[in-house]
Every structure is written in C-alpha cells, then in structure tokens.
Amino acid sequence: MRITVAQLNYHIGNFERNSRLIIDAIKKARDEGSDLIIFSELCVTGYPPLDLLDHIDFIRRCEETVYKIADSCRGITAIIGSPIINTQPEGKKLFNAALALSDGKVIFEARKALLPTYDIFDEYRYFEPAKDFRIFEFQGKRIALTICEDLWDEQPFPNEFEKSRLYTISPMDELAKYNPDLVINISASPFAYTRIEAKRKIFIGKALKHGIPVISVNQTGANTELIFDGGSLIIGKNGKIFKQLPFFEEALYTFNLESLYEDFTEPEPVVPDTVMLVYKALNTGIKDYFGKSVFSKAVVGLSGGIDSALVLVLAVEALGKDNVVALILPSRYTARQSVDDALKLTSTLGVKYEIISIEKPFTAFEEILKPIFRDLPPDVTEENIQARIRAVLLMAYSNKFGHILLNTSNKSEAAVGYGTLYGDMAGGLSVIGDVYKTDIYKLARYINRKRIIIPESIIKRPPTAELRPSQLDTDSLPEYRILDEILFRYIELQKPAKAIIEEGFSEELVKRVIKMINANEYKRYQTPPILRISHKAFGAGRRMPIVAKY
Amino acid sequence: MRITVAQLNYHIGNFERNSRLIIDAIKKARDEGSDLIIFSELCVTGYPPLDLLDHIDFIRRCEETVYKIADSCRGITAIIGSPIINTQPEGKKLFNAALALSDGKVIFEARKALLPTYDIFDEYRYFEPAKDFRIFEFQGKRIALTICEDLWDEQPFPNEFEKSRLYTISPMDELAKYNPDLVINISASPFAYTRIEAKRKIFIGKALKHGIPVISVNQTGANTELIFDGGSLIIGKNGKIFKQLPFFEEALYTFNLESLYEDFTEPEPVVPDTVMLVYKALNTGIKDYFGKSVFSKAVVGLSGGIDSALVLVLAVEALGKDNVVALILPSRYTARQSVDDALKLTSTLGVKYEIISIEKPFTAFEEILKPIFRDLPPDVTEENIQARIRAVLLMAYSNKFGHILLNTSNKSEAAVGYGTLYGDMAGGLSVIGDVYKTDIYKLARYINRKRIIIPESIIKRPPTAELRPSQLDTDSLPEYRILDEILFRYIELQKPAKAIIEEGFSEELVKRVIKMINANEYKRYQTPPILRISHKAFGAGRRMPIVAKY
C-alpha cells in the first residue's frame, strides 16, 4: 500500500483555502500512485476553530466541504479531520472526527476520545468524547485511526502536581484488542520548544508497545498565536524513525507502507537546534498573521534596544523589507547612541524609517497636566506618558497607512509588569511576548550567525527603558539572568515559591518576583495575542483571576 | 432539624476573608440553634479560581482552610465547597467537592459530576467528574448533596443547535435510587438577566419530579467580571417556593426543615424588575472590583454623552462621591452643550471634576505627523488620536493619584468595533460593556426614577463621538434600535444570518453587522474585563479566533 502524508497549513474558517489545499494534495498523491493520503486534525476548519463551532452554519460549511473533498477522492482514499454532529440525544453537540473518504462517500469515521482541556486547549467545551472504538479495515490492513491526544493517555506533565495519566481510558489499549496492523494519528499539535523530545517519545513508545508502525500527521503554519511545527513522524514497527517531515514547512511525503514492517536502520538523527526552531516558529507566526489576514505591512517602534531590534529583523525576514517600516521616536531621555544604533539597523536591513521626536506632545501633556499635578514630583506617570505618546504615533501610522503595529514586549517584562499598558504593550501581535529576555539574546546571536545584522552595540548595551535620566532596567528589576530562572520555574514549571527557594534562590527575591507576576495580571489581560513558543505562554493558555488575593 | 442557608460574598484566593466569613456564620447559626448550615460552591476559594487550581500550594491552603473551618463546627454541621485532591492514579488532579464538616472532621464528601465547560465555565480544565453517587445520611434524613450543574442535566440552551441534555448522566436520577428526603444544591451561579426564570424552573422541576424539598444555596458578590446574584431558593416538597433570599446581598436564613414537607401556600411571587437587577449587578460589580482589590478610587472620562454619564453615576453610587473623579476633556469638536451637560451632572452628583482641553497635544501630534502624513486627508486616524490623547490623560491621572480608570464603552459599540483601541476602549474595568445601547437608556431612566440625576438633555441628544465636525453615530452605524436587535440575535442567541434575515431584517444590513462583529475580534481581545450581565458577554465567555475567515 502506498501512503502519502500531507503536512499542510490551514486557515481557520477558510473553507475555500483548506479544501483547495486538500484537494490539490489528493490529486498529487493519486498521480504518485498512492492508495491513501492522510491529512491532519480538523484540517477542514483549521485549528483551533474555538466558538465558531457554536454556530450551526459553520458546521454546515464543514459538512459541505467534507462532501466536496470526498467527491475528489476517486481511486484514492483520504483521511481528513472535521467536526461532525453528535446525533445522540445527549451530550455535547459535536465530535472531533477523523473521516475516511472514498468515491464521494465517508467510508469510516473515528471520533476523538481524549479531549485536551488544559493550557490553550478547550476541546471539551465543544466535543463529546468517544466511548467506543472500532478498527478501520482498509486494503487488508487493520488501522487504529486516532486523533492527536488519543495517543497521549500517558504524558509527562511539567507540573509535579499533575498526574501522568490525565484520562481514565487509553484509546490505544482499547484498539489494541482488535489486533491492528498500524496506527494512524492525525494531529494539530502546536509548537513548544520544550516538547520536541516528548512528542517523539510518545509516538515511538506506542510503536514499541504495540509492535506496529505509527504514522503521525501534524499540520504546520500559525493561526494567530498558535504555531504548528509540522515534523510529522513515520515510525516503523521496530520503533525507529523511518522519516520525519520538516519543521514549519508544508510537505507531501509518499512511501510504501511495507517498508515500515522491515527492520530498517534509522537515518542519522537530526536534533534540531532549539534557538533555530524558535526563530522559525516566530517567523511562521508573523508570516501567517499577515498572510491569513487582509494586512501585508507592519510598523515597529524602534528604540535602539535589543527587543525592538529583534522584532524588526523578524518582521523583515518574514514579510520582506518593503513591507516593514520602523518609527524611531526619541525623547529628551533618549541617548544619541540609541538613535545611531537604530539607524544602523535600518540601514543594514534597508527598511524605510521615520524619526519623530516626542518632545512636542510630551511638553503639551506636561503643560495641560500642570494645573492638576502641580508640584508633585515626576514618577512613573511621566514615564508612562512617553510610552503612550509613542503608541499614539505608532497607531496613527498604523491607521493612516494600514500597517499593523507589532508589539515588542518580551516575556520577562510581561511577567513582572515592566511595561506601559496602551504604551509599549500596544500592538496587533506580540512577536516575542513568550520569549524571556535571556533568550532574546540567543535569538539575536542566531540572527547574527552569518553576518552582523543587529549591531553589537545593541546586544552589548545594558537594557534601559530610557524614560528618565540614566535609567537602567536593573534599577527596578533583578538581573535578567536570575529573574528568568525564577520566572521559568514559577510560570512554566508551576513550582511553589518554597520549592524555588529550596533550589537556592533568595527568599526575598522569589517572593518579590511572584508578587510582581500576580499583581500584573490586569495588564497582561489587555495585551495583544502572543506568539506561543513555550508550553506555558501568557494568554489563553494561562487563565488567572484579576481581582484575587494570592 | 434546623437549617441555615448562608449566602455570602467570597473573594478568590483570600482564604483569611473566606474562612472568617464562614466561621462567623457558623457561630451565628449555632447561636440560633441550627443543626446544619449550608454554604455555596467553592466558597473556600471563591469562584472561579481558574488556574490558581494548578498550583499545589493553593490546594494546600484550601486543605488547611477546610480543617480550620471543620474545627469551628462544634455542635453544628457545615456544608462547604472546596477543591479536593483526586487520589486515584488516573484523571484530572482535583474534584470539585461539597464537604460536610463536623467536630473537626470531614464527615461526608460529595463530588461534582456535571462540570460546566461552556461560556465562562472551564470546570473540566481542572476537575475530574464524579462517577458514583452516595447519600449523605444526617440526623435521620437522607440528603442528596449536589453541586450546581449537577441539577442542570436538562436545560434550555438559547442556541437552537445545542442539545437540551448536555450530559449523558443525571446525578439526581442516580441519587433518587436511594430515596432521598431532601436535595441540597450548593452553587456558584452567576447572574444573567435572561436566566432568572430558568433557574427557578430547574429547582422547582427537581422538587416536583422527585417529590422532595430542594435547598439551593448560591453566593453573591462579584469576582472581576463575574457577578453572583444570590437569590438562594428554598423549595418545598410541594414544588412551591418557601423562601427566596435577596438578590445581590449577603444573607443568613434559618428555618425548620419540617416546614418544607407541609403544604404551605407560596408567598406572593416577587418578580424582580430586570432593569433593577441589572443596575444592582453593575453596582455589585463595581463595588467588589474595588472592595476586593487595593484600590478605592475611580476616574471616569466624562464626555457629555449618555454612556459616560451612566458610568459616572454607577461609580458614585457604588463607591461614594468622594471616591470618584470626572475628567472632562473637550476638543475643538466638542459642543458647548456636552461640557454644560457634563458639568450639570457632576454638580448634581457633587463629584470632583477637572476640565482639560486636549487641543494642545492634538495640535502637537498634528504638527509632528505633518511631515509624514503630508496632504493626506483627515480620516479615522485623526479621530483615534483624539480618543487616545484622552486615554493618555485619564491614565496619567490614574497613575499619579491611584484612581482606576473605568471604561465607558457599551456592548453595541464593542460588538461593531465603534471605539478606539488604547483610546475610549481603555480602562481597568468595563462597567457597561455587556449592556446594549438601547438598555443604557433603560438604566438611565431607572436611575432618574425618583429624581433627575442624569440630565434629560443627555438622554435625549442623538449619540455622537464628537471626533469630527457634526458627527453622529448614525453616520457609521444603523439606528441602535435595529442594530441591537440584530446583535442580540447573533451574539446571545447565536442565530445564523439566514435565520435573522428571515425574521424580517434587511439582508444587506444583517450581513454588514455580522461582518463588523467578526472584523473587530482583535479589538475586543484587548479590552478590559467586562462586567457580565447577560448569558453571552464579550470576554472569557465568547472565544473567537482572530486571524480567521468567517
């Protein structure tokens, strides 16, 4: 049997695009003599469709699209993912299904049993879990057709408090009773740089446990904050990797199923560099945010610091230099070096820039607030006014010319609230809001790996917001090297303060940092969507009460 | 048996406050000779604790608090709600539990079986559903102890697409097998003005179906956007309401259980006025947002229009006139009448105000943008600049004096994106973001019911943003009377366009409105938390993809 794995980039709710992608791939696979082509989870809708699933007309569009695709399956069978209506009188209104299509018909239907409802996942909000399991018999093979989480009945959660078995059933154990020859797993598995190895292990583990090949088909591309990394895996009966599809790229790959039962030698394992993967993830995130919306151009506020420099480079590499504009917005506190560095970068990149001093509006605000503030000493108020003036200018540019403002806040700042709401926290998309400051430097070094793009002086200068004379980030914050270690333990690993302190961090510091994180929930509530590269990003994956005491 | 119902106002994560409230009530109930006191769902943590439940130290605090409360139960038994750890090797890490406490011990434990995971509810994110059911035997009575949704196995969903039976089991049908004498239901049931009757019907239905009394204990008070309306219900064996506790107020009520088995006559039903309930909900929402945070003072931008007038009155009535400041921020386009009306209102309310013209910063922005915008005609850019200048001033006041900015956008505007991000969409809390414009007028009339507080001229003037000469809302939007009808059908009732058009609305208009709603997801993503008064508010209860096509 010849099988094609289709790792494609879907767009939520864009039935025309998704069905065109799918039907084109079906044609190519048939031309290559494939018997079966496999697409990924919910490829008909794009992932995650969220509350669009509550709309009956959206579901009707899914049904029409499934039949349109089925109609193109002549002489080939396709496995696709789509929501389907639960026709039982009880339960949630939909199932998350894998459908086998052939000659205009749905010839088999598998329903997802394990519905991830944690972090960014809300599947139990929409779907009824499957309770019974059947084998898909196809051309003499008995296929265990599963959907993403169905294979994740055992998983290592980073939170020690969490169980390793989140579910009370194991779909593969149920399906194993029917002696399958093969596991197919269609997925929508988003990227997290900490999870690459875990994914491999899950699939290899299932191949070894059941002694049969595993074909896992993921998608690629980004839908707002969620970025899918592809990397679909084809694993032999021997538990070895027969083929891994590329990361962050569309790919079609055709092979003979028989090969997976042979005792092949694994090709030299390619352990991808984490920094490179994060770079590619962010690149994909930016590309698809624009590519899937009606916008093509971005504006970035360029301060001369490393964060905005990195965002500018990422934007240029994703969108092309002619689609990006930098606004340099100096104030009375901006060092000459900041503007010089910013200009050096725009010149290296060849992007259009504008320099606008914020002095006039700043003075105007000072004047009109004088009768109210009187002789009160300057404080964070005046600093915020500057950051907000910059946002007014960036948004004015955005409004006038249709450029989307890219936000340049990093995860360390977002965590401790070192940023101005409606100021530097503004934007349509937060590009590096899931990247800790210490990792910002790694990305900058990666970008400079072949030639200097980001000036060394930007990388080497101590971080400063330049909102008052001689300000440094370390005036208000611990060194990022220490801060990021604490943040990672509290946010990603969800360790209690006590455990972090026991690792040797100062008690006073740990408590102060956690207090800052919690006190700034209200700010993060209003930030733009953040490209997610970790397994615990701010945004939909981390839901904290605002008016709470903890 | 004497029973006390405790309808109290809890604060998320504030274990000191919650346990003090609970222990005080236990003492009072014992003094009144009660045998049993009943508190509401998750009263130990406050509702909803969200991802705080992922933190093991948070759960340890729950356990300590439960034992502290148990220790105060001498000569009386208390039923409280708390998360408890799932000690099974499989499944989610917690149960949502009702615990009966007596003499320092947990004497009975019921676990929630139906976990609402729709709208604002995410319970399956945290909790394992109970699968078996036991009766709580107490002083010779067999009690079916249930938690909120456990009684909602049959419910009328407003979305026609949704099933009326969302779950595959009915906890009460299971418990009925043990011939209970009584149902106790502890809940955290948030207010929605459309759901008052539905709640009554559910509880009365269960009493009649099983022929036993139902005691439903809700909580009151607000936690950020969610407002609990109290209104706990005590229903006799005959299906009649024996007592309904007040809405939006703490209350303790003690009665003899025996009375519920007698054939009493229902007291004259009090059908509360919807507008009054919405008013009380918003009042509670504001009060608790401040009362449960470290802030006590609010600032409101007062335009002379009805929305900000209403918010100012609500703020003054919730926080007291000395805790509220109005900023009047006229521009070159502000009519004299707007300032006069605003001043009339501040004078009636006796609140402090400041008038600051935005002309100087507006001119400054125009000047510095001139070299970039050149001769491009003014458009929405210049309108947004004005709105954003106002936000800079309001936030400057907020930062300097520690006043929280209250947002004044209404639901109609938020729906169609008629507002400026980082401008009039800014604020710590959106007070009327779940109130349609046509209902804003109803609230204004309600506020003016005894004496004119909001000047008639404010109520009667056609709505205008005053961001360009002679601007009216109806330049860009349909009449609110029609717009709101369409919005309600699409957002609250989730009707497809086709069904709305079939009701007689213009096809072109319906399509335009739906397009505006969808195109403005990105703006709503960044708005402050919105006090929720309907069953479908913007915010956590409505999750839509941003970069999607639909």
pLDDT tens-digit series, residues A297-319: 999 999 999 999 999 999 999 99
How far is the alpha carbon of A423 from chain B, nearest alpha carbon, in Å? 8
Averaged pLDDT for residues A86-112: 96
Mean pLDDT (whole number) for A227-240: 97
What is the overall mean pLDDT for chain B? 96
d(CA B439, CA B448): 14
Interface predicted TM-score (ipTM) of this complex, two decimals: 0.96
Local structure of residue B245 (DSSP, 8 states): P
Inspect the interface and report whether the beta carbons of B161 and A56 lie closer than 8 Å.
Answer: yes
* pLDDT at B427 exceeding the cut of 80: yes
Residue B503 CA: distances (Å) to CA of A41, B486, B500? 37, 10, 5
The CATH class that applies to domain B279-475 reads alpha beta
- The verdict on a CB contact (< 8 Å) between B385 and A379 is no
Report chain A's mean pLDDT, rounded to a whole number: 96
pLDDT on residue A271? 76
Does B148 participate in catalysis according to the annotation?
yes
Distance of CA A343 to the CA centre of its chain: 31
- The one-character DSSP state at A102 is E
pLDDT band at B158 (very low <50, low <70, confident <90, very high): low
Q: CATH 3.60.110.10 region(s) of chain A?
A: 2-262
* CB-based contact B400 A379, cutoff 8 Å: yes
**Residue B247: which of B7, B499, B526, B523 has the closest Cα?**
B7
Percent of residues, chain B, with pLDDT higher than 70: 99
Compute the half-sphere exposure of residue A294: CA atoms within 13 Å on the CB side of its CA.
6
Dihedral (CA of B507, B508, B511, B512) sign:
negative
Q: What is the pLDDT of residue B447?
A: 98
Instruction: List the single residue in B with minimal CA-CA distance to A58.
Output: B550
Residues 6+ apart with CB under 8 A from B360: A364, A367, A368
pLDDT exceeds 80 at position A220: yes
- pLDDT 10s digits, A342-398: 999 999 999 999 999 999 999 999 999 999 999 999 999 999 999 999 999 999 999
Q: What amino acid is encoded at A360 in this protein? A: K
Sign of CA dihedral B184, B188, B191, B192: negative
Q: What number is the average pLDDT over the span A528-536?
A: 97
- Taking an 8 Å cut-off on Cβ atoms, the answer to whether A364 and B367 are in contact is no
Residue B292 confidence (pLDDT) above 90: yes
Give me the mean pLDDT over the B473-479 stretch: 90
Stretch B477-490: mean pLDDT: 96
pLDDT digits (tens, 9 = 90+) for B43-60: 999 999 999 999 999 999
**What is the rounded distance in angstroms from the CA atom of residue B345 to the CA atom of residue B455?**
7
Residue A160 has pLDDT above 70, yes or no: no
Percent of chain B with pLDDT over 90: 93
- The distance of B509 to chain A (nearest Cα, Å) reads 18
| Residue whose C-alpha is closest to residue B249's, from B204, B291, B281, B294 | B281
> For the stretch B37-76, what's the b/e string if a residue is b when 16 or more beta carbons lie within 10 angstroms of its beta carbon?
bbbbbbbbbbbbbbbbbbbbbbbebbeebbebbbebbeeb
Buried-state track B376-395, b at ≥16 Cβ within 10 A, e below 16: eeeeebbbbbbbbbbbbbbb
B192-250 per-position pLDDT tens digit = 998 888 899 999 999 999 999 999 999 999 999 999 999 999 999 999 999 999 999 99
| Alpha carbons A300 and A403: distance in angstroms, whole number | 9
The answer to whether A162 contacts B497, with C-beta atoms less than 8 Å apart, is no
Of B293, B360, B548, the CB nearest to A547: B293
The sheet carrying B141-147 orders its strands as B136-138, B141-147, B182-186, B214-217, B233-235, B241-244
With b for 16 or more beta-carbon neighbours within 10 A and e for fewer, the A105-136 pattern comes to ebebbbbbbbbbbbbbbbbbbbbbbbeebebb
Tens of pLDDT, residue by residue over A401-455, are 999 999 999 999 999 999 999 999 999 999 999 999 999 999 999 999 999 999 9
Out of B43, B62, B73, B148, which one is annotated catalytic?
B148
Predicted local confidence at residue A550, as pLDDT: 76
Average confidence (pLDDT) over B520-538: 96
How distant is the Cα of A445 from the closest Cα of chain B, in angstroms?
31
What is the residue whose two structure tokens read 């609250």?
B492
Residue contact B544–A52, C-beta within 8 A = yes
- Where in the sequence of chain A do the CATH 3.40.50.620 domains occur? 279-476
Q: Which helix (H) or strand (E) holds A99?
A: strand A94-102
pLDDT for the residue numbered A267? 80
Q: In Å, how far is B391's CA from the nearest CA of chain A?
A: 8
Q: What percent of chain A has pLDDT over 90?
A: 92
Pick A428's closest partner by Cβ from B125, B354, B522. Answer: B522
Which of A43, A73, A112, A123 is catalytic? The answer is A112
Closest CA to B144 of B178, B169, B115: B178
Maximum distance among all alpha carbons in chain B? Answer: 86
Instruction: Report CB contact under 8 Å: A388, B385.
Output: no
Helix axis angle, A274-291 relative to A437-447, nearest 10°? Answer: 90
The reported pLDDT for the residue numbered A159 is 61
How deeply is B321 buried, as exposed, middle or buried, from its count of CB atoms within 10 A (0-12, 13-18, 19+)? middle
The one catalytic residue among A41, A225, A413, A492: A41
Dist CA B316 CA B302 (whole Å): 13
Task: Select the residue of B125, B356, B392 nearest A388 (Cβ to Cβ).
Answer: B392
How high is the pLDDT of residue B445?
97
Nearest by CB to A51, which of B365, B396, B543? B543
- Name A196's Cβ contacts closer than 8 Å, sequence gap at least 6: A231, A272, A274, A277
Is residue A422 within 8 Å of residue A525, measured between CB atoms?
no
Q: Do A399 and B380 touch (CB under 8 A)?
A: yes
Q: Kindly list the distances between the CA atom of residue B240 and the CA atoms of B145, B234, B399, in Å, as whole numbers in the listed order.
A: 20, 9, 53
- Hey, are the CB atoms on A161 and B55 less than 8 Å from each other? yes
CB distance A93–B117 less than 8 Å?
no
B254 in Cβ contact with B29 (< 8 Å): yes
Instruction: Using CB atoms, pick whichever of A55, A160, A389 lies closest to residue B494.
Output: A55
Instruction: Establish whether A62 is a catalytic residue.
Output: no
Phi, psi for residue A42 in degrees, rounded to 5: 45, 35
Q: What burial class does residue A164 get, using C-beta atoms within 10 Å of its C-beta: 0-12 exposed, 13-18 middle, 19+ buried?
A: exposed
How far, in Å, CA of B456 to CA of A476, rounded? 50
- The minimum CA-CA distance between B355 and chain A, rounded to whole Å, is 10
pLDDT over threshold 90, residue A272: no
pLDDT for B531 beyond 70: yes
Which of B64, B3, B62, B66 lies closest to B38, judged by CA? B3
Q: What is the CATH number of domain A2-262?
A: 3.60.110.10
| Contact (CB<8Å) A426/B422 | yes
Over residues A489-508, the mean pLDDT reads 96
Subunit contact A369:B396, Cβ cutoff 8 A: yes
B101 has pLDDT over 80: yes
Distance from CA of A42 to the nearest CA of B (A): 14
User: CA separation (Å) from A25 to A28, A63, A65, A251, A348?
Assistant: 5, 20, 15, 10, 40
Find the helix packing angle between A306-319 and A274-291, rounded to 10°: 60
Q: Which residues of chain B does CATH 3.60.110.10 include?
A: 2-261
Say which residues have a Cβ less than 8 Å from residue B14's Cβ, sequence separation at least 6.
A548, A549, B46, B292
Distance from CA of A311 to the nearest CA of B (A): 20
Which residue is catalytic, options A43, A73, A148, A495? A148
Query: Is 90 exceeded by the pLDDT of residue B269?
Result: no
CATH architecture, domain A279-476? 3-Layer(aba) Sandwich (3.40)
Q: Please name which of A335, A281, A330 lies closest in space to residue A301, comparing C-alpha atoms.
A: A330
The pLDDT value recorded for residue B155 is 78
Name chain A contacts of B526, Cβ cutoff 8 Å.
526-528
Instruction: Give start-end residues of each CATH 3.40.50.620 domain in chain B.
Output: 279-475
Query: How many helices and strands, by DSSP H and E, does chain A display?
Result: 17, 19
Report the gap between the CA of A350 and the closest CA in chain B (Å): 19
Which residues of chain A make contact with B293, given a CB cutoff of 8 A? 547
C-alpha B63/C-alpha B44 separation (Å) is: 9
Asked whether the predicted pLDDT for residue A161 surpasses 90, the reply is: no
- Which residue type does B255 have? F
Q: Which two tokens stand for residue A175?
A: 């399906």
Label residue A280 exposed, middle or buried (CB < 10 Å: 0-12, 13-18, 19+): buried
φ, ψ of residue A8 to 5 degrees: the values are -125, 175
Please give the Cα distance from B163 to B140 (Å, whole number).
39
A494: left (phi over 0), alpha (psi -120 to 50) or beta: left
Closest-CA residue of chain A to B53:
A544
Chain B residue with Cα closest to A52: B544
- pLDDT bracket for residue B159 (50, 70, 90): low
Cβ-Cβ contacts under 8 Å, A93 against chain B: 161-163
CA distance A19 to A6: 13
What is the chain B residue with the closest CA to A289? B547
- Model confidence at B270, pLDDT cuts 50, 70, 90, reads confident
- Establish whether A352 is a catalytic residue: no
Nearest to B360 among A117, A122, A368 (CB): A368
The 3-class SS string of B1-20 reads CEEEEEECECCCCCHHHHHH
Structure tokens at B414: 């938020």
- Using a CB-CB cut-off of 8 Å, the residues of chain A touching B529 are 525, 546
Of A11, A55, A125, the CB nearest to B118: A125
CATH number at B2-261 = 3.60.110.10
d(CA B56, CA B42): 16
Per-residue model confidence (pLDDT) at position A294 = 87
Q: CA B351, B356, B357, B358 torsion: positive or negative? A: negative
A-B C-beta contacts closer than 8 Å:
278
User: Is residue A90 classed as helix, strand or coil in its secondary structure?
Assistant: strand
Phi/psi at B331 (5° precision): -125, -175
Neighbours of A347 (CB within 10 A): 11
Task: State how beta strands A251-256 and A298-301 pair.
Answer: unpaired
Cβ neighbours of A288 in B, within 8 Å = 547
The stretch B520-543 carries a mean pLDDT of 96
Nearest to B494 among A49, A54, A89 (CB): A54
Which one of B422, B522, B527 makes the best mutation probe of the A interface by having the most chain A beta carbons within 10 Å?
B422
Q: Are B498 and B525 in contact (CB under 8 A)?
A: no
Based on DSSP, count helices (H) and strands (E) in chain B, helices before strands. 17, 19
Q: What is the DSSP letter of A247?
A: B
Q: What is the structure's pLDDT at A165?
A: 86
* pLDDT band of B157, cuts 50, 70, 90: low
